[in-house]
Amino acid sequence: MIYFHVGFPKSGSTTLQKKLFDKCDQINFLGQYPVSNIGLDSEYIKTSTHDASGEAVLSYFHESISHDSEIAFKKKFQEGVFDLSSVYKNNKVNVLSNERMASNLFSFPDQGVKARRVKECFDDSKIIIVIRNQFDIIKSQYRDHPFDPRSFNWKRRSTDIDKWVEIDQKNPNGFLASINYFDLLNYYVDLFGCENICVLLFEDMIHDLVGFSSKIGRFLDIGSEEVHRLLAGHHENSGVSAGLNKYRHYKNLLINILPDDMRNNYFLKSIDVKLMKRFRGGQKMAVDFSSDTIDFISGFYSEGNLGLFKKFGLEVEKYRYPGF
């Protein structure tokens, strides 16, 4: 049996990976998480229980299943290169975790295709998905990248959140499209059955950790008290500070006027690293939507969120998800 935690980004994934999946003695953690984030992280680094060849197998698997084109993935699958038997442990709860499975950013953009890949690789998987109020997750993603959402290179331009939403909503593979949770849940339910899907609310992780721990503990068949102990008081990749984003804004203005041969200057890069570290802490960047953007987001997600409430019994109204 394989459990697969498929994200979402900005929804407690790094906290679950670092503090629960990687530290619980009953779990064999087969996931990957970023060793650094733009937000504030702890100094904890994954303590691998696998040798170098095992880590290479896992790295290759995660990169392929979340990033490969359809042609490339099918070729590898037919060649049988996704055999994880060397890292699987029969006496533990085996948990794969990869938030890129639910994300359209920096990965293959079709969530339905990636869901089918999980089914092809692990027919009897159980799926864990953590979702978050779209108002809040959009703000969190914007804090990470307060620039034109179409650009991730040095030419990126700062923009306000209303313009960010306006631009991204035109992209069928953009961030806004990826967080229509109802569509994603239906992909996985159709493939694995409702009884094999555990959907958790990020807000419960913050405001009702006892209930959150009980739900994920029952699903993984591990003690909820242990889950609570490992998660209590921890929050990885906390929001980007106002100071850091102000620095990033001015840094990008400078980069855009520098000569090409200066952009990779070692001295300037070393200063940048120090300043990024200096401004990383502090109060989060304040972000507010205009009334028009609030209306747009409410309309964009209301039908799907109503489905989360009616079909899946999720208490999204409790946390005022768009449409409630």
Quote the pTM value.
0.85
Determine the pLDDT at residue 44. Answer: 44
Q: Which amino acid is at 50?
A: H
Give the helix/strand (H/E) hosting 266. Answer: helix 266-279
Q: What DSSP string describes 141-178?
A: HHHH--B-TT--STT--B--HHHHHHHHTT-TTSHHHH
Which of 21, 42, 32 is CA-nearest to residue 238? 42
Q: Which one, of 284, 285, 254, 291, lies nearest residue 269 by Cα?
A: 254
Q: What is the 3-state secondary structure (H, E, C) of 187-246?
A: HHHHHHCHHHEEEEEHHHHHHCHHHHHHHHHHHHCCCHHHHHHHHCCCCCCECCEHHHHH
Closest CA to 175 of 209, 144, 210: 144
DSSP letter string, 92-122 = SEEEEE-GGGS--TTS-S-HHHHHHHHHHH-
Maximum CA extent, the chain? 58
The three state secondary structure string of 54-88 is HHHHHHHHHHHHHHCCHHHHHHHHHCCCCCCCCCC
Distances (CA, A) of 31 to 218, 246, 309, 314: 20, 33, 30, 26
Domains of the chain, start order = 2-134+176-239+291-312 (3.40.50.300), 243-279 (no CATH)
**What are the average pLDDT values for consecutive 10-residue runs of the chain, which has 324 residues?**
91 93 95 59 51 86 94 94 91 93 86 94 95 97 88 75 96 94 96 97 97 98 96 72 73 73 74 77 85 98 98 97 97
Of 299, 301, 303, the residue nearest 291 (C-alpha) = 299
What is the pLDDT, as a whole number, of residue 41? 40
- 200 - beta bridge partners? 130
